[in-house]
Structure 1
Amino acid sequence: MGKHSSAVTKSNNRRPVYLTAVGLLVLSLGAVFVVRSFGSESSADGFLGGSSCDEPTQIQLTTTPEIQPLLESAAKSLAGKKNGPCLQFTISAAPSAKVAKDVSEGSDNRPDLWVPDSTLWVAQADDGDTIPTVAVPSLASSPLVLVGRSENFADVSSWLGAFSKTQPALLDPLSQSPGALALLAVQSERAKTSTTTNQVAKVVVPLAQRLGSMPKPFTDVNGLFGRAAQAGSPVIVPASEQSFVKYQEEHPDAELKASVPKTGTLVLDYPVVVTATSNNDAISEAGKALAAELSEAGPSQARDEAGFRDYLVGPLGEGRGAGDIEQLAKPNAAAVGKVLGDWSRLSLSTHSLAVIDVSGSMAEKVGSKTRMQLTIEAASSGLGLFPPDAELGLWTFSTKIGDLGADFRQLVPIGKLDAAQRKRMTDALRVQKAIPNGGTGLYDTAIAAVKAVRQNYDSSAVNTVLLFTDGKNDDPGSLSLPEAVRTLKGLRDPAQPVRIIALGMGPDADANELRQLAAATGGQSYLAKNPSDLQQVFIDALQNR
């Protein structure tokens, strides 16, 4: 990121404006230094407006950093126009997500005008009282592109196709527009494809788990470009065309290309948004005047040189960028809210105990394999959905197989799913066999598992019991179903929720029983007609936790 200034530019002064730096403010936003400059006061010579501009309308404008220099230039140009509007702009820079949060929370940092990099943040800036309005739909534009090495673009038929065959590195979707737009593009392109919800989930859920498990989300697009440029790198980066063009100029030897999937793309549109709480008409007119100034010949050339397209999204000059593009349908506020909400939930870490049925019925064959074999294969494959930062453990259950006649046996304690833990779990799964004549001690096991997860509760993660069974409780010495449900409800703690995700397999699983056990903890139950369906059940369980 370059150095950006916070400039006060007074329009219609009586003499030319001379900018003088008078201070440096260190912002907490990435430690950017902001230079504040002030225009000269009106004099008595009557130049450019005379006495009519003794009291200019004061406009506090906050913009996304990359377009700040263009806005400052446009404001200076506007100030130098004879008989122009009587305005004084104070322009500063801040990330769009931060401004949206400030406005929605009624912060003192609320500006009068705001230029985010995308309209998607406007709905996030509703404070419940004053709804931000868009004065100008777009000052400039920059399409979302995929950036990577040429060999990573074998499949650009769609965003989902590109994501499924590479290693997408998304800028934090909760704070960075390109990351959010990438997820929205996957959803928007479904209107043009036959992609199912399950197909999307198989790509997005593991992606959210992987990126959500990192100590810090990605926020530096140039750093990601550097990773993507390394020889043999499978990384592709959804980013604005403008950021790619600027990176190319600064790193001409980087072997990167920008591509847009055939389904089309979404666009960063840089609207002018009125966020003032009063004098809105005058503020809106000021924003329109600034936008009109930016559209004139000189500023238009500067906009192109800075890597931005015009509001019509025409290609950049000199063959730069991605060329002609097709646009996907723009998502509405509800779609934006859902995608961001889903990502927040999906990207949470996991603290879970997998509990697998090894009762006698698991020896029954489905085709050429037993239910036990298929379940182990599905569970082993399911481990691949969880990132190294997830915490998982493993139990098995039947009847009276554990210490002191318990219906469950601990195989692997809950721990971080690093390479060693993953191997312990995989090795333990591979040797499991159905216990001849073993019953299904479901109720006692479910209660004990919830207690075990609670003992080492992780407040930063989703705490769950993943309960696999092909039958129903047939332990004559255990609680009844109503008693088990009451016990589980009694264990509920809103401050430390531990939910059962019940995964029923095959025709003998009791859907009603599993539903009641899961619901007693605030969890969910799922049925797989065959153990081979468990991969999708894993995906569904992660989506709905």
Structure 2
Amino acid sequence: MAIVVVIAGTWLGYQQLADSGCTGSVRLSVAAAPEIAPAVEQIASQWITGGAEVSGTCVAVDVTEATPADIAGAVSREHNVALAGLGTAPETVAVPDVWLPDSSTWLLRLQQEASGFKPTKISSVAQSPIVLAVPEPIAKTFGWPDKKMSWDQLLSQFGTDGTLQVGIVDPTRDAAGLNSLLAIGAIAGSGQEGLLKKTQALTALSENDSSLREELLQQFPKSTDANDLGTSLQAAPLSEEDVVAYNAQRPAVQLSAIYMEPSPTPLDYPYSIMPQVVDTAKAAAADGLLAQLSSAAFKDSLAAVGLRAPDGTYGAAFQAPVGAPAASPAVKSSGGADGGKAASGVSGNDLSRAVGSWVATTLPGRVLAVFDVSGSMGKAVPTAGGATRAQVTQAAARGGLSLFNNKWAVGVWRFSTNLDGSKPYKQLVPITPLTSGRPQLEASIGELNPVPAGDTGLYDTVLAAYQEVQKNWKAGRSNSVILFTDGKNENADGLGQDEFLDKLKKAQDPKKPVRLVLIGIGNEVDKGELDTISKTVKGSGVFIAEDPARISDIFLEAIGTRTGAS
């Protein structure tokens, strides 16, 4: 019935346009996030009824509801890439002329993976702050609405007897969840203490994670019974619009919207004209619709569906939650066609690190970590207080290992030259489930000290590591090799480049994909050589830490992406 109504409305508008004197037609397809689609459809219909045209050509607009994850999957499919935790969409999901997701974080994640994805125009048309949704009786125990709550207070709840039953929508599939991870990561801080705080928070959130917002909302209590309140979901980071829409259904237990300090990056609803729109008339139609969505009338349409204008204010009929600010901070930017940053200055690298933390902390996987112990790893790192490259890498390895949950299996190798007879590599720990092997793996990190006269047997090591992971490949898991090196292949007794690349290419099995992640350390690494290796293995990537002190950040970026290089 809804489809019939939309088609009928579009056809009626087109007939009226034909009567208004415009000739020909240009049809614009728009895919909008479900919560904003009704407002966009209303304004588009009014525009058409009023005589929508560009340079005398009639304009028709088809607005469809589409979850951002579905369209992101379709864009990924078109560019032959994939977002971590998402995958690609079926052929039935088409890429529209204009995409209006809930957040510009989707655009940045895609641009991180597909350099060719460059929308011709991006402009925020709405906003919804990220809040902590808490059942009203629970919120009152925190002093709501008189007292505000900080992320520090929330983090202090984890790992205690009074831990809240918290949940989140999978951040790899949901922008509100991802933006919340950014806020948690910033508050948790760096170092071992910060990593522990973040890991505790992510682990707690993952206990009640959902793939869809609707699924998560169903976990909130259905009555004020003490047992129901105590065993149901008690807190979740969601958008203000989610709370408004939930409470509009008049549930037995309403949700409170707690506006956290500091405020997470809001959902900024970027109106994005897609790269394939090259036709002049269609591009003009897209610009015309954007102008309509920047009007005062659209602000009121947004208010009716629980959304704010980009400047953080709201129009008539907005059902503001108790304690809601009259205006939230304005969206500063919605990114650019060349990448750039999302609202509040969030970059693609920030997003990759947040996604990487979530993947390592919550999802299952198998990884063989391979560490360069050649003599050059003994060089001091000025930005790390004089610690050597090896010591900085060992610290990153310890931090990374503590982040992986017990669903992972991890192995450790070291490599240089002649470490095991003529082999340039040596196994320290085979790929072992962390449930039983964590102490052994932690101890192995201490064996990653540089070999004073050792060179770099890169080619033989990469091939052997790839074959090792493939040998015991597991379905339903991420099967990866992550190799750290500060040099280039220097092994006269080993494989030459052509022979190595040929063997690596032949070793691949489409039914048993293994991701190869190459992390270059320092400014002496041969990035061109690493790129050549990476291009041989589909879905692999090269990540360069020119400042070795940033290895931990680069490591998380590598985990949080699926393709491409940085």
Question: Aligning the two structures, in what range does the TM-score lie when normalised by the shorter sequence?
Answer: 0.5 to 0.7
Matched, 1:456 2:468: yes
Match of 1:248 in 2: 247
Deviations 1:194-221 (A, max 9, x none): x97769994899699979x99xx95412
Say which SS state the counterpart of residue 415 (structure 1) adopts: strand
1:221 to 186, 190, 213: 213
| TM alignment of 1:503-518, pairs within 5 A | none
Per the TM alignment, residue 544 of structure 1 is displaced from its structure 2 partner at its CA by 5.9
Deviations 1:25-73 (A, max 9, x none): xxxxxxxxxxxx753885xxxxx77843575744333222222222333
Aligned counterpart, 1:133: 121
| Offset at residue 110 of structure 1 (A) | 4.8
Say if 2:195 and 2:399, in contact at 8 Å, map to a contact too.
no
Amino acid at match of 1:258: I
Shift, 1:386, TM fit? 1.0
2:63 is aligned to 91
CA 335–80 in structure 1, closer or farther in 2 if over 3 Å, else same: closer
Q: Which amino acid aligns with 1:52?
A: S
Structure 1 residues 413 and 38: alpha-carbon distance in aligned structure 2, compared to 1, 3 A threshold? same
CA distance in 2, matches of 1:254, 1:247: 8
Contact (CA 8 Å) 1:388, 1:416: kept in 2 or not? yes
Q: Provide the TM-score with structure 1 as the length reference.
A: 0.57
Which secondary structure does the structure 1 equivalent of 2:367 belong to?
strand
Shift of 1:246: 1.2
**Separation in 2 of the partners of 1:396 and 1:41?**
68
Aligned to 2:402: 384
Could you report, residue by residue, the CA deviation over 1:116-140 in whole angstroms, capped at 9, with x for unpaired residues? 3334556758996995335xx4443
SS in 1 for 2:403: coil
Does the CA contact (< 8 Å) of 1:264 and 1:328 recur in 2?
A: no
Q: Which residue of 2 aligns with 1:271?
A: 271
Q: Is the 8 A contact 2:129 2:267 kept in 1?
A: yes
The residue number in structure 1 matching 2:12 is 39
Matched, 1:305 2:304: yes
2:29–2:96 contact (8 Å) kept in structure 1: yes
Q: Does 1:259 align with 2:259?
A: yes
CA spacing shift, 1:239–1:89, aligned 2, 3 Å: same
Q: Secondary structure at the match of 1:268?
A: coil
Is residue 338 from structure 1 mapped to residue 334 from structure 2 by the alignment? no
Q: Partner of 2:35 in structure 1?
A: 66
What amino acid maps onto 1:39 in structure 2?
Answer: L
Alignment-mate amino acid for residue 432 of structure 2:
G
Cα separation, 2, equivalents of 1:9 and 1:519: 49
The one-letter code sitting in structure 2 at the alignment partner of 1:145 is V
**Cα displacement string for residues 252-281 of structure 1 (whole angstroms, at most 9, x for unaligned residues):** 515553323225633423537474633046
Percent sequence identity is 17
Where does residue 321 of structure 2 map in the other structure? 320
Q: Is the 8 A contact 1:352 1:463 kept in 2?
A: yes
| Shift of residue 181, structure 1, vs aligned partner | 4.1
Higher relative contact order (CA 8 A, sep 6+): 2
> If the length of structure 2 is used for normalisation, what is the TM-score?
0.55
Given the superposition, is the C-alpha separation of residues 223 and 101 from structure 1 closer, same or farther in structure 2, using an over 3 Å criterion? closer
Q: Which amino acid aligns with 2:293?
A: A
SS of the residue corresponding to residue 27 of structure 2 reads: strand
Q: Deviations over 1:377-428 (max 9, x none)?
A: 998776421123322136899xx999x9x999978641333x34447767x8
Structure 1 match to 2:367 = 351
1:142 aligns with 2:128: yes
The runs of 5 or more residues in structure 2 that have no matched partner are 80-90, 143-147, 222-228, 342-346, 374-392, 509-513, 535-541, 560-566
Structure 1 residue matching 2:129: 3-state secondary structure: strand
Give the drift of 1:487.
Answer: 8.7
Q: Distance in 2 between matches of 1:144 and 1:491?
A: 50
Q: Secondary structure at the match of 1:456?
A: helix
Taking only aligned residues, the RMSD between alpha carbons, in angstroms, comes to 6.6
Q: Secondary structure in 2 aligned to 1:462?
A: strand
- Asked if 2 retains the 8 angstrom alpha-carbon contact of 1:485 and 1:520, the reply is no
Counterpart for residue 364 of structure 1: none
Report the alpha carbon displacement of residue 141 of structure 1 after superposing the two structures with TM.
2.4
Note if contact 2:44-2:61 (Cα within 8 Å) is conserved in structure 1: yes
AA aligned to 2:100 is V
In structure 2, the residue matched to 1:470 is none
